[in-house]
Amino acid sequence: MVQSVRMTEALGAWTGEGGTLTAVAFLASVGVAGLLERVQYRLRADEGRAWWASNGRDVVNAVALGAVSSGVWIHGFRGPLVVCVAGTLVLLLSMAQMRLESRPGSTWWSVGVALALGAPILIAPGAVARVFQRVVLALAP
């Protein structure tokens, strides 16, 4: 039990410092990630023609992760939990791009999906932090 308490403390948590301004910053970072993921998906079509497209996709994904991580941190999450939460959101958003490919207005859909995926972090950040802590503890006791 003592080990799991130490692990939970090392993971970080939500500090409870969220407010209107931090919520707006978080939503902006998630919206940017939605746009970046759309760019990343469009680069996929260029992979056969341009040698740099594959590396470009990796860079765009890293920038999206950085954008969401900064938004999560500004909203009040701390420690490695920031990267766990942000990475999960970016991964889910990247997976959603396959479904959005042929939709009219796919860029708007991408931003909307990003905001929907970020909603739990905005509405119940403490609960999201606890769920991630439990999952990490279950995976790495």
- Give the domain ranges of the chain: 2-139
Give yes or no for residue 121 having a pLDDT over 90. yes
Cβ(89)–Cβ(32) under 8 Å?
A: no
Identify which has the larger pLDDT, 4 or 122.
122
Look at 20 and 11; give whichever has higher pLDDT.
20
Q: What is the pLDDT of residue 131?
A: 92
pLDDT the model gives residue 87: 95
- Between 132 and 57, where is the model more confident? 132
What's the rounded Cα separation, in Å, for the pair 93 and 5?
A: 31
* Per-position b or e across 91-113, b if 16+ CB within 10 A of its CB: eebbebbeebeeeeebeebbbeb
- Among residues 113, 70, 63, 79, the alpha carbon closest in space to that of 93 is found at 113
58: exposed, middle or buried (C-beta count within 10 Å: 0-12, 13-18, 19+)? exposed
Position 29 scores a pLDDT of 95
Arithmetic mean of pLDDT, 70-81 = 92
Confidence of residue 72 (pLDDT cuts 50, 70, 90): very high
Cα four-point dihedral sign 22, 29, 123, 16: negative
- The confidence band for 101, taking pLDDT boundaries of 50, 70 and 90, is confident
Q: Could you count the other beta carbons within 10 Å of the beta carbon of residue 118? A: 26
The encoded tokens of residue 11 equal 């993971």
pLDDT surpasses 50 at 97: yes
Average per-residue pLDDT for the chain: 85
